[in-house]
Amino acid sequence: MSGRAGRTRIGRFPGFGTIAWVCLGCLYLPILILVVFSFNANRAVTIWSGFSVDWYLRAAENDGLQQAAVNSLIVAVIATLVATAMATGIALATSRGPVFRGTTAILAVVSMPMMIPEIVIAVGTLSFFVLAGIKLGLGNVIIAHCVFCIPFAYLPIRARLQVMDPRLDEVARDLYASSWNTFRLITFPLLLPGILSGAMLAFIISLDDYIITAMVGGAGTSTLPIYVYTMLRLGVTPEINAISTVLLAVSVVFVSGSYFLGRKGKSSP
């Protein structure tokens, strides 16, 4: 039985390893080239003439870039807080609360933004804002990101709840603990790794988003992805590579942190 299982593993098919490495190379080699040439002293992005961090310093001194970074942080922080709070409530209601009709429909609605093409969500959100007459500038972007980030925060939180022992809540109630004290002293501390993991995912999704922001944002609502795209119209420069490298580094840090927090949550009692 074990020999048959070993022969049917997809990794044992002839050429699978080669194809996998080629795909990984096509995916990550351009990113590696971007990072390397962000330290290029030459303005020409394809001609290496020495190591330099001047482009990072120029990017840091760019007033437009600074404003875009502030806008991105404002949107990402608010969207993260709101989306994580809502995702936590939804996860608790669907996993710890009494079973009620419509639970499956709620789960489907929450997961839908990850299955629908983002451009469709962006157009629909823009249409809603136009029909409702909502013109809040950066506020429109914040509202759209809050809604879009909920499923990304919800999944790690719900995964953490599924590995938590529900009998702990029952024991707390048997000891006459109120619902608030049970949540504050037992549920929340055990759920915290999942909440932090979901918050980190929501933050990086909001920070890196371009399509929704481009659709619903108005004048003066430029974020980092929008600013980078605007600069690309004038051609690729090492400064763009530097900005992209910083965004990549932030994304790697937050995604890695979310992953390790999720693992810590699963290994906790």
Per residue in 50-80, pLDDT tens? Answer: 888 888 888 888 888 888 889 999 999 999 9
Residues 189 and 67 in one domain: yes
Question: What per-residue confidence (pLDDT) applies to 144?
Answer: 92
Is the domain of 27 the same as that of 155?
A: no
Tell me, yes or no, whether 195 lies in a domain: yes
Calculate what percentage of the chain has a pLDDT beyond 90: 16
In this predicted model, what pLDDT tens digit does every residue of 169-182 receive, in sequence order? Answer: 777 777 777 778 87
- pLDDT at residue 8 above 80? no
Residue burial 185-201, b: 16+ Cβ < 10 Å; e: rest: ebbeebbebbbbbbbbb
pLDDT reported for residue 98? 65
Average pLDDT of the segment spanning 235-247: 83
Per-residue pLDDT at 171: 79
Question: Quick check: is 55 in a domain?
Answer: no
> Given a cut of 90, is residue 227 above it in pLDDT?
no
**Average pLDDT, rounded, for the chain:** 82
Instruction: Please report whether residue 205 resides in a domain.
Output: yes
pLDDT confidence tier of residue 237, bands split at 50, 70 and 90: confident
Q: Which domain holds residue 160?
A: 63-267
What's the pLDDT at 146? 92
pLDDT at 100 over 50: yes
User: Is the pLDDT reported for residue 4 higher than 60?
Assistant: no
Neighbours of 19 (CB within 10 A): 10
In a domain, 100, yes or no: yes
Confidence label for 6 from pLDDT (cuts 50, 70 and 90): very low
**Residue 87: pLDDT band with limits 50, 70, 90:** very high
Specify whether the CB–CB gap between 169 and 185 falls below 8 A: no
| Residue 44 falls inside a structural domain | no
Structure confidence at residue 75 (pLDDT)? 93
What the block records as the tokens of 221 is: 């609502």
Question: Is 58 among the domain residues?
Answer: no
Q: Does residue 178 belong to any structural domain of this protein? A: yes
Both 84 and 26 in a single domain?
Answer: no
Q: What is the Cα Rg of the chain in Å?
A: 23
pLDDT at 143: 92
Average pLDDT of span 8-23: 76
Would you call 107 exposed, middle or buried from its count of C-beta atoms within 10 A (0-12, 13-18, 19+)?
middle
11 and 74 housed in the same domain: no
pLDDT over 80 (residue 245): yes
For residue 173, how far is the Cα from the chain centroid? 36
Average pLDDT of the residues in 10-15: 69
State whether 7 and 112 are in the same domain: no
DSSP characters for 6-51? HHT-GGGSTTHHHHHHHHHHHHHHHHHHHHHHTTBSSSSTT----B
Q: Are residues 105 and 230 in the same domain?
A: yes
Q: Which of 225, 223, 243 is nearest to 67 (CA)?
A: 223
Both 151 and 90 in one domain: the answer is: yes
Amino acid letter, 60: A
| Structural domain count, the chain | 2
- 159 and 221 co-located in one domain: yes
Highest mean pLDDT, choosing among 29-33, 46-50, 203-207, 249-253: 203-207
183 within some domain? yes
pLDDT at residue 9, rounded to an integer: 67
Q: What is the CATH number of the domain that holds 109?
A: 1.10.3720.10
